[in-house]
Amino acid sequence: MSNRMWGGRFATGPDAIMAEINASIDFDKALYRQDIAGSRAHVAMLAKQGIVSFEDAAAIDAGLAQVLSEIEAGTFVFSRELEDIHMNVEKRLADLIGPAAGRLHTARSRNDQVATDFRLWVRDTIDELDHALKDLQEALLEKAEAHAATVMPGFTHLQTAQPVTFGHHLMAYVEMIGRDRGRFRDARARLNECPLGSAALAGTSFPIDRFATAEALGFARPTANSLDSVSDRDFALEALSAASVAAMHLSRLAEEIVIWCSAPFGFIRLSDRFTTGSSIMPQKRNPDAAELARAKTGRIIGALTGLLIVMKGLPLAYAKDMQEDKEPAFDALASLSLVIAASAGMVRDMEPDARAMKKAAGGGYSTATDLADWLVRVVGMPFREAHHVTGRIVAAAAEAGLPLEKVPLATMQGIDARITDAVFDVLSVDRSVKSRTSYGGTAPANVRKAVKAWKRKLEKDTL
């Protein structure tokens, strides 16, 4: 049997394989809410413009409300023969209200319909992600505040570099996530134009009011060019690229969590809630949630590159290739949402081992820069000379197997006679972090200030 929604000129139905490759209902049923909202806005506009009667519009609207409740109640029967969500909804509407249902598709096409539905879906999802990212920022802020003065080693090249505070380290992620939210919001603002009424590709001869449907669906305005409207998937690409960057950040956090809770580091402990055991090694506590957060970033980035590749060769306007936009976007944004929730859970769960962190912070001559800075500030050496003198003291310390603050004054004075015992003031890791008060530096006082400033930003929603 040919498809009754478009089968007028078709003598036979599709080959089974054709039906299989063509049907999108298995995944695009996720758009049912947006599809029905779009149709209700469309038919209300058609009635207002005198294109359909108010009676028919009322019947269509009531029928669509009924379809919505059937889908939400789980009683709706989706059919692959009807290809996609648009035709499944319309067919059920016809069953419910009869031939008047056929008037709904006046002055529109599935091309502008799907573009509208998908935009609405991406917009809703961006709003949910923004909320989840805010929750993650709150989790980080709580932990950072509690550990504003907890000292840990800061790394470059994963080599111990200078002591930092754990709070400062966590606040770095608050900044990253703030930018991620900004990227999603930028994408949302550009997305927020309504393609509905662009019809198949050329617009329509009916006297429709695209501004009215745009407004009814919460869009800022209608899109300006009908060809662009039905062939543009930038909004999905932008959401996926914002998602990829956010996931990349959370993957870095996950990687740090994996490193921090490894036995040689022992910086943090994750509870049983976020670890799993090994089936053979009884001592193991594996940070699986962090590992999976790291791994899911791969498929999120994959979704972005996949859709870019789908789009890159398409002539204007719509092509069925574009049906392949949905699954990767659904999967990637759902994955991101899971990764965000797991990250927030782990951040709230993690307990740092302050002693282990501090011990590691003092290793690797991490206060050597403090010593060089002291030589500049107190002795008045040029920094290059101070760097050289400090290097010699570090070498002497290494030779004697001592940390910097345990090197005897006499040894230091043997290298430069101008050094006094006041130098010991700057050699402890606590002194080191406390002294880093430059704007954006790691000092505990800075961390507390940054936490306060971010809490205010979150409260006022001024990112």
Residue 31, class by beta-carbon neighbours within 10 Å (0-12 exposed, 13-18 middle, 19+ buried)?
Answer: buried
**Using the rule CB under 6 A, is 88 a contact of ligand ARG?**
no
Interacting span for ligand ARG (CB under 6 A) from 57-65, 269-277, 319-327, 445-453: 319-327
In 10 A of CB 349, how many CB atoms? 18
Judged by CB under 6 A, the stretch of 201-209, 216-224, 320-328, 353-361 that binds ligand ARG is: 320-328
Give Cα separations from 50 to 9, 43, 63, 204, 261 (angstroms): 30, 11, 20, 15, 67
Q: Which stretch binds ligand ARG (CB under 6 A): 275-283, 315-323, 338-346, 404-412?
A: 315-323
Q: Which residues are catalytic?
A: 157, 278
Nearer to ligand ARG, 31 or 141 (CB): 31
Nearest approach, Cβ of residue 111 and ligand ARG (Å): 5
Runs of H (alpha helix) within 160-284:
166-191, 210-216, 226-231, 234-260
Q: In whole angstroms, how close is the CB of 92 to ligand ARG at the nearest point?
A: 16
Taking alpha carbons only, the member of 329, 328, 428 closest to residue 374 is 428
- With H, G, I as helix, E, B as strand and everything else as coil, classify residue 234: helix
User: What is the smallest separation between the CB atom of 163 and ligand ARG, expressed in angstroms?
Assistant: 55
Q: Is 125 in the site for ligand ARG (CB under 6 A)?
A: no
Comparison of 318 and 374: residue with beta carbon closer to ligand ARG: 318
**What is the Cα Rg of the chain in Å?**
31
CB 265 within 8 A of CB 255: no
Quote the tokens at residue 364. Answer: 């690797």
Nearer to ligand ARG, 39 or 111 (CB): 111
Q: Which of 35, 56, 61, 84 binds ligand ARG (CB under 6 A)?
A: 84
By the rule CB under 6 A, 434 interacts with ligand ARG: no
Closest CA to 271 of 344, 341, 350: 350
The CA distance from 462 to 347, in Å, is: 23
Per CB under 6 A, the list member of 323, 335, 343, 442 interacting with ligand ARG is: 323
Of these, 322, 372, 389, 426, which contacts ligand ARG (CB under 6 A)?
322
Q: Where does this chain touch ligand ARG (CB under 6 A) — which range of 51-59, 110-118, 377-385, 390-398?
A: 110-118
Sequence letter at residue 199: A
| Cross-strand bridge partners of residue 151 | 165
Q: Which two tokens stand for residue 115?
A: 């573009």
Name the minimum Å distance from CB 53 to ligand ARG: 28
Question: Which range of residues in 126-134, 173-181, 241-249, 317-325 is near ligand ARG by CB under 6 A?
Answer: 317-325
> Is there a contact between 338 and 248 (Cβ–Cβ < 8 Å)?
no
Q: Does 198 bind ligand ARG (CB under 6 A)?
A: no
Return all residues near 289 (Cβ < 8 A) that are at least 6 apart: 274, 275, 342, 345, 346
Taking the complex as a whole, the smallest distance from the CB of residue 39 to ligand ARG amounts, in Å, to 14
Residue type (1 letter), 457: K
Alpha-carbon distances, residue 297 vs 252, 254, 302 (angstroms): 10, 10, 8
Q: Does 114 bind ligand ARG (CB under 6 A)?
A: yes
**What is the spatial distance between Cα 435 and Cα 370, in angstroms, rounded to a whole number?**
9
Least Cβ distance, residue 89 to ligand ARG (angstroms): 12
Q: Which of 24, 34, 231, 442 binds ligand ARG (CB under 6 A)?
A: 24
Q: Which is nearer to ligand ARG, 109 or 150 (CB)?
A: 109
Q: How many residues bind ligand ARG (CB under 6 A)?
A: 10
110 part of the interface to ligand ARG, by CB under 6 A: yes
Q: Rounded to an integer, what distance in angstroms lies between the CA atom of residue 136 and that of residue 344? A: 5
Closer to ligand ARG at the Cβ: 204 or 323?
323
In 3D space, the residue among 138, 89, 109 whose CA is nearest the CA of residue 6 turns out to be 109
Smallest gap from residue 330 Cβ to ligand ARG (A): 12
Is 122 a binding residue for ligand ARG by CB under 6 A? The answer is no
In angstroms, give the least distance from the CB of 49 to ligand ARG: 24
| Strand blocks (E) in 196-349 | 221-222, 268-269
Which of 34, 111, 137, 366 is close enough to bind ligand ARG by CB under 6 A? Answer: 111
Interface with ligand ARG (CB under 6 A) = 24, 28, 84, 110-111, 114, 318, 320, 322-323
